[in-house]
Amino acid sequence: MPDTTNELSQQPPIAAIATPIGEGGIAVIRVSGRGAVDKVQACFKGKDLTQQQSHTVHFGKIIRKDGSVVDEVLATLFRSPKSYTGEDTVEISCHGGVLVTQAVLETILEQGVRSAEPGEFTQRAFLNGKLDLDQAEAVADLIHAKSIKAVDAAHQQLEGRLGKHIKQFRQQIIDAKAMVELELDFIEEDVEFANKKQLRKLLTDLNEEIARLLDTYETGRLVKDGVKSVFIGRPNAGKSTLLNTLIGSERAIVTDIAGTTRDTIDADWSYEGLLFKLIDTAGLRETVDVIEAEGVKRSQKAFEEADLVVYLKDLSLPLDAEERKEIAEFQKRAAQTPFLLVGTKLDLNQRNSTEIEERIHYDLKISAIEEQNIDDLKKLMKQRSLENKDYDTSSLLVTSSRHRDALQKARENVQRAIEALDQGMTGDFLSIDLRSALKELGTITGEITNEDVLDSIFSRFCIGK
């Protein structure tokens, strides 16, 4: 953690509305920093807050300089260091109207309190050592979570489970460094490196443990960001109808005119706690229509970024050679991007006595309109997108690309140290690699950081958090 505690204590307290702007039962205004209690007291009529203990609640009125009442409120006191930010904090609960809340905030700001930046309370919590950086990031993940699995993953990180692993890795590296440096001291006396075997084991174990944690990222990413599932197929195949059926509302326009969907359409859909980002696309076909052609381009871009491609084929129409080729291309790439071939309009097909033998394997046949096999499709979408992934959401998951990158770099450094050891290099080479690994791991928990990283992390937060 950077030592900015002193700097912080010189700054004026900050304040912001901590609840969403709108009409509600109550709203909360948060004030934090050195002198926060005095500043609130200066516009508070009730008990003298400066004389009250931490974790107590007091009824009173917020009053303007001319003595007029802004609102009746409850003030909750948290004394440093026992608060979210680690600083003296007052949380003012007032009536939840847009204007009254704004008026309470403005009255407090008039006392020489500064308006808080997005995430500044959490940033102060980090700078004051209340949270590690990965825990601060988990706070944002928790607020932005769109599925219950994402909530669970954020909670794990907030509880410090990732941080605990990282600290353990760091300790292992410190131990390894100590062994290497011991050898450095011995080198002049030409003493054989007695601990070489032990050191090698320590480093290879560490390498494997980091790799295991890294492996959870594939699942972690899907849990946090959702499974990007792209519906693809010929115009009129029933892509928009399926999207609407899954989300249970008429999000996309459906007509019997081929080429109805021109742009990609996104909709969030949760299934068994997992978020799917459904993307309906413009039907794939050669077209001279400029708008439709742009739509087809967007469809192609969407499937390049997909976590799951669902190819829809209208069962009531014969499969032509070109479409067969297209499907084969997707199937070939299925190892990289999970793929499902789904036959649509099964209801029509069942009535169709002259079904054409297509000699192609469908993963499933459905009717979106008559809701046939839709539950099976949901199951299959989840199963296929998590196939070959270690989907155990009760264990710790790495969910952030920032953490993944740092772990990867740390692992590369550990591997380099193992190679150096095997090639009989001197200890100072190993030391450099181990120091770099230590640094990379430190960026995850925030022992090592810089302003740009902090700015980009905390700008994701809302004001008042």
Ligand X SMILES: Nc1nc2c(ncn2[C@@H]2O[C@H](COP(=O)(O)OP(=O)(O)OP(=O)(O)O)[C@@H](O)[C@H]2O)c(=O)[nH]1
Closest C-alpha among 262, 232, 269 to residue 248: 269
Closest C-alpha among 382, 378, 400, 381 to residue 391: 382
Are 281 and 298 in contact by the 8 Å Cβ rule? The answer is yes
Could you tell me which stretch among 92-100, 128-136, 231-239, 326-334 binds ligand X (CB under 6 A)? 231-239
347 interacts with ligand X by CB under 6 A? yes
* Other residues' Cβ atoms within 10 Å of the Cβ of residue 98: 13
- Find residue 274's DSSP bridge partners: 271
Partner interacting with residue 100 (select from Mg ion, ligand X, none; CB below 5-8 Å by kind): none
Which residue, 41 or 240, has its beta carbon nearer to Mg ion?
240
Which residue, 71 or 280, has its beta carbon nearer to ligand X?
280
CB of 261 to Mg ion, least distance (A): 3
345 interacts with ligand X by CB under 6 A? yes
Q: Which amino acid is at 23?
A: E
260 interacts with ligand X by CB under 6 A? yes
283 interacts with ligand X by CB under 6 A? yes
261 interacts with ligand X by CB under 6 A? yes
CB of 348 to Mg ion, least distance (A): 17
Partner interacting with residue 398 (select from Mg ion, ligand X, none; CB below 5-8 Å by kind): none
Using CB atoms within 10 Å of the CB of residue 189, give its burial: 0 to 12 exposed, 13 to 18 middle, 19+ buried: exposed
CB of 267 to ligand X, least distance (A): 13
How far apart, in whole angstroms, are the C-alpha atoms of residue 236 and residue 409? 47
Could you tell me which stretch among 10-18, 37-45, 90-98, 239-247 binds ligand X (CB under 6 A)? 239-247
Residue in 33, 226, 238, 442 binding ligand X, rule: CB under 6 A: 238
Partner interacting with residue 258 (select from Mg ion, ligand X, none; CB below 5-8 Å by kind): ligand X
How far apart, in whole angstroms, are the C-alpha atoms of residue 121 and residue 458? 10
User: How many residues of this chain bind ligand X (CB under 6 A)?
Assistant: 24
**DSSP assigned state of 248:** T
How far apart, in whole angstroms, are the C-alpha atoms of residue 217 and residue 395? 12
258 interacts with ligand X by CB under 6 A? yes
Distances (CA, A) of 419 to 58, 214, 413, 423, 425: 64, 21, 10, 6, 9
13 interacts with ligand X by CB under 6 A? no
CB of 347 to ligand X, least distance (A): 5
CB of 363 to ligand X, least distance (A): 16
> 81: cis peptide before it, omega within 30°?
yes
Strands 89-96 and 69-78: antiparallel
In angstroms and rounded to an integer, the radius of gyration of the C-alpha atoms of the chain is 29
247 interacts with ligand X by CB under 6 A? no
261 interacts with Mg ion by CB under 5 A? yes
147 interacts with ligand X by CB under 6 A? no
Query: Contacts with Mg ion in 240-259 (CB under 5 A)?
Result: 240
Residue in 86, 119, 235, 442 binding ligand X, rule: CB under 6 A: 235
CA atoms within 13 A on the CB side of 59: 0
How far apart, in whole angstroms, are the C-alpha atoms of residue 371 and residue 48? 65
Are 106 and 43 in contact by the 8 Å Cβ rule? The answer is no
Which residue, 260 or 270, has its beta carbon nearer to ligand X?
260
367 interacts with ligand X by CB under 6 A? yes
Instruction: List CB contacts of 57: < 8 A, sequence separation 6 or more.
Output: 74, 75, 76, 77
Which residue, 11 or 373, has its beta carbon nearer to ligand X?
373
User: How many residues of this chain bind Mg ion (CB under 5 A)?
Assistant: 4
Partner interacting with residue 374 (select from Mg ion, ligand X, none; CB below 5-8 Å by kind): none
Partner interacting with residue 436 (select from Mg ion, ligand X, none; CB below 5-8 Å by kind): none
256 interacts with ligand X by CB under 6 A? yes
| Ramachandran assignment for 452, one of left (phi > 0), alpha (psi -120 to 50 degrees), beta (any other) | alpha
349 interacts with ligand X by CB under 6 A? no
Partner interacting with residue 345 (select from ligand X, Mg ion, none; CB below 5-8 Å by kind): ligand X
Which residue, 234 or 416, has its beta carbon nearer to Mg ion?
234
281 interacts with Mg ion by CB under 5 A? no
Residue in 156, 240, 399, 445 binding ligand X, rule: CB under 6 A: 240
Tokens of 30: 């948060």
- CA 399, chain centre distance (Å): 6
Partner interacting with residue 157 (select from Mg ion, ligand X, none; CB below 5-8 Å by kind): none
Q: Which amino acid is at 66?
A: D
Tell me how many degrees the CA angle 456-458-461 measures, rounded to the nearest 5: 120
Q: Residue 29 belongs to what H/E stretch? A: strand 24-32
237 interacts with ligand X by CB under 6 A? yes
> Could you list the residues that contact Mg ion (CB under 5 A)?
239-240, 260-261
- Report the interface residues with ligand X, using CB under 6 A: 233, 235-241, 254-256, 258-261, 282-283, 344-345, 347-348, 367-369
